[in-house]
Amino acid sequence: MSGNMNLTLKVWRQKNVKESGRFETYTAKNISPDMSFLEMLDEVNEDLIKGGKDPIAFDHDCREGICGMCSMYINGRAHGPVKGVTACQLHMRSFVDGDTITIEPWRAAAFPVLRDLVVDRTSFERIQQAGGYVSVNTGSAPDANAIPVPKDNADEAFNSAACIGCGACVAACVNSSAMLFLSAKVSQYALLPQGRVEAKRRVANMLKAHDDAGFGACTNTEACEAECPKGISVTNIGRLNREFAAASISGE
């Protein structure tokens, strides 16, 4: 193959949601620094298959940092050592020959491990279904330019909406709280006139779904922001708290 790096991998292997898992050690040979982290795992998997072993299951799809599918803990950090990138965008030039790399799934009660590095994130779906929308039926919208939106608000809403739903924030949090994810969604709508109408109902319902799904409470450690590959800011959590306080005071 193309490269000359040799690495030792310690990878979490778990057959399914019921069985318990353990670390296994593998070597990754002839790795090129131009490979992405997932391409390195592809190579290891090809060797495992040819050796009659089970390849390592991991989630991935777009491989360009936008679908939010890839999800792994690399050397104790969600998505690995480089700030602001997902595991699929991490390149092997961030490692050196001879490194030992530990790879684990997201760990959180609300994200059960399905196999190896693959976890179940349907708890995120339930949060969104509880209120992550504007109630507008197809066909009933006014002209798009009928309601001007200040550019700063639109840009800020976009920044919050850039969350890819990967779950790194939960994995990085000691409390397994999904508050960064949740607050990003709440903020996007809170900042836009279209979202204001249902603001109170939304924040209350989504918070309830968050707690019901088994995510922990936020104690402001800000580990989430540090590990979020899309730079989602904890100021969103502040905004969510204000929205919630306002909703609680006025009721509905």
Partner 1 sequence: MNLDSKIPAGPLAEKWDRHKFSCKLVNPSNKRKYDVIIVGTGLAGASAAASLAELGYNVKTFCFQDSPRRAHSIAAQGGINAAKNYRNDGDSVYRLFYDTVKGGDYRAREANVHRLAQVSVNIIDQCVAQGVPFAREYGGLLDNRSFGGAQVSRTFYAKGQTGQQLLLGAYSALNRMVGEGKVQSYTRHEMLELVMVDGQARGIIARDMVTGEIQRHSAHAVVLATGGYGNVFYLSTYARGSNSTAIWRSHKKGAYFGNPCFTQIHPTCIPVSGDHQSKLTLMSESLRNDGRIWVPKQKGDTRKPADIPEDDRDYYLERRYPSFGNLVPRDIASRAAKDMCDKGYGVGKTGLAVYLDFSDAIRRMGEKTVESKYGNLFDMYKQITGDNPYQTPMMIYPAVHYTMGGLWVDYNLMTTIPGLYATGEANFSDHGANRLGASALMQGLADGYFVLPYTIGDYLADIERKPIANDSPEFMEAEKVVKERLSKLLSIKGNKTVHQFHRELGLIMWNHCGMGRNEVGLKEGIEKIRGLRDEFWKNLLVPGSDLELNQNLEKAGRVADFLELGELMMVDALHRNESCGGHFREEYQTPENEALRDDENFAYVAAWEYKGDGQPHQLHKENLVFENVKLTQRSYK
Interface residues with ligand SF4 (CB under 6 A) are 163-169, 180-181, 184, 228-230, 232
Residue with tokens 């779906």: 125
Q: Are 156 and 191 in contact (CB under 8 A)?
A: yes
Residue 98 binding result from partner 1, ligand SF4, ligand FES, none, given CB thresholds of 5 to 8 Å by partner type: none
Q: Smallest gap, in angstroms, from Cβ of residue 184 to ligand SF4?
A: 5
Structure tokens at 168: 């790194």
Structure tokens at 207: 């918070």
Question: Which CB atom, from 48 or from 221, has the smaller least distance to partner 1?
Answer: 48
Question: Which CB atom, from 53 or from 83, has the smaller least distance to ligand SF4?
Answer: 83
Q: Using CB under 8 A, which residues numbered 93 to 122 contact partner 1?
A: 93, 114-115, 118, 120-122
- Alpha carbon distances (Å) from 163 to 103, 131, 209: 23, 16, 18
Count residues near partner 1 (CB under 8 A): 82
Residue 203 binding result from partner 1, ligand FES, ligand SF4, none, given CB thresholds of 5 to 8 Å by partner type: none
DSSP single-letter state for residue 35: S
Q: Smallest gap, in angstroms, from Cβ of residue 158 to ligand FES?
A: 18
Edge-to-edge strand order for the sheet containing 22-31? 22-31, 5-13, 100-104, 73-74, 77-78
- Give dist(CA 6, CA 44) in Å, integer: 11
Question: Which CB atom, from 9 or from 185, has the smaller least distance to ligand SF4?
Answer: 185
The contact set with ligand FES (CB under 6 A) reads 60-63, 65-70, 86, 88
Residue with tokens 């700063």: 152
- Give dist(CA 127, CA 55) in Å, integer: 32
Question: Which CB atom, from 99 or from 244, has the smaller least distance to ligand SF4?
Answer: 244
